[in-house]
Every structure is written in C-alpha cells, then in structure tokens.
Amino acid sequence: MSESKVVVVTGGGDGIGKALAQHLAGEGWEVCVADIDEAAAATVAADLVAAGHRAVGVGADVSNEDDVARVADCAERDLGAISGWINNAGNSRPAMLLRMAVDEFDSVLAVHARGTFLGLREAARRMVASETNGSIVNVTSSAGLGGTIGQINYASAKGAIIAMTKSGAKELGRYGIRVNAVAPSASTQMTKTIMTNEKFAATYLSRIALGRFAESEEMAPTFSYLLSDAASYMTGQVLSVDGGTYMVS
C-alpha cells in the first residue's frame, strides 16, 4: 500500500459508517465522511477534527454520478491521494414481493447496487491515476448470500454487490488494487424495526449463533483489517461479521 492513508466512507453520518469513520481515524486514517445527510457528515467530521484527526464531511447521493466524483475531488483536495474506499451507504424499503412497487425496488437498487458501482469505479480510477495500491471494501449482507423475506429489493442489491466485488477484484488486481466485501449485522437505524419489535427481535435472535445483537463498533475492526497491509494478499473475498447468522461449509 502507498504511504497515503486517506479513506472515503460513504453513509458515514450514522450507524456502521459513523463507527467506521471513528475507528479508522483512531488508527491514523484521514477520513472523508460522505452522507446524503450533509449535516450528519459534517458533524461526524467536525467531531473527528476536534479529537485531533484529519477529516472532512461531504453531502452526497451515492446513486448520483456527479456527487460521487465530487466526494473523491473533495477527499483528494483536502486530504490527499485516496488509498481506501468503503461503499457503505444504504437504504431500505421493505415490502413483500406480491405488494412491492417498482419504485420501491428501483430506489433500493439505485443506492446499494448503482451506488456501490459508482463508488467502486471512482475509487479505482483515482487509485490507478495516482498509482496507489489501494483497498476498496463493499458492504453486502447475509440477505445477498441467502436471500430474505420482505426485502427482495435489498437482497437483490446485496447479491449484486457480491458479484461486483469479485468482478472488480479480477479486473483491478493488475493495478495492485484489492476489492473485498463485508457482510455485517449490527444495531443501526436500518435495523431499528427488527430490534424494537419483540416478535421480530426474537425470531432474528434465534438465527444468531452468538445469541445477541451486535453494536456498530464491533464491525469496524474487520473493515480496518481489509484496508490494511495485513490483508495485502486478500481480494475478491466476502467476510461475514454476523455472529454466525449465515454460515457456509
């Protein structure tokens, strides 16, 4: 990896993204926090700066090509050459298949699938141009590995991200750029409905081998590892950090 330790975290204004930004800053990364909620991104970045870290916050819709390019421009201008990029931004519009509207399907695919593609492509372009042997980490889900009920849009998008990760790894390896994915499971705003509903929570907990919900902070070390030189020979992989919810032999 190059000496640069500049990382972009999309969806960094809250939840797992915020935890990632805080953890990585503590490990010496300079962090560009991008979020559709510009105020949230600015607040996270300001808190990092106040704690003595280098950071910048940017408002951006990851499904918009110009916005994603603007995030990269801001990161390079204010922090330096990008060597890490985490495609974490997401949304959720749950509905059963028979009742799901086309716009509910499209809006989730736009943020997760197109947003990840745009981030992956932008990060790769910047890393190739600066000759940075960087690391890109995409966020998928056990839903993308094994499907889910009531969120066929989300599962479809997360499945696409797995394929994108593997294809990206094969294309970008020649440039020394690694592409991996993490399938996390933690208590966030997106999972609030499950966590606060007694029936849903009990059902979900029964599927977790460790028998408890995780906090967002518990996801961060895996992302940190994939960004680091410790994972210098790892690419095209999907790591599940879900307490044993989804296992494959």
Residues 245 and 143 sit within 8 Å (Cβ to Cβ) = no
In a domain, 246, yes or no: no
In a domain, 33, yes or no: yes
User: Which residues does the annotation mark as catalytic?
Assistant: 154
pLDDT at site 200:
64
pLDDT at site 137:
98
Domain CATH code at residue 58: 3.40.50.720
Q: Over the stretch 109-129, which tens digit does the pLDDT of each residue have?
A: 999 999 999 999 999 999 999
Q: Over the stretch 51-67, which tens digit does the pLDDT of each residue have?
A: 999 999 999 999 999 99
In a domain, 1, yes or no: no
pTM of the complete model beyond 0.75: yes
In a domain, 78, yes or no: yes
Residues spanned by the domain of 207: 6-238
Arithmetic mean of pLDDT over the chain:
92
Alpha carbons 140 and 82: distance in angstroms, whole number? 22
In a domain, 111, yes or no: yes
Q: What percent of the chain has pLDDT over 90?
A: 79
Mapped onto helix, strand or coil, the DSSP state of residue 244 is: coil
pLDDT at site 190:
56
b/e sequence 178-210, b meaning 16+ C-beta within 10 Å:
bbbbbbbbbbbebbeebeeeeeeeeebbeebee
In a domain, 107, yes or no: yes
What is the count of structural domains for the chain?
1
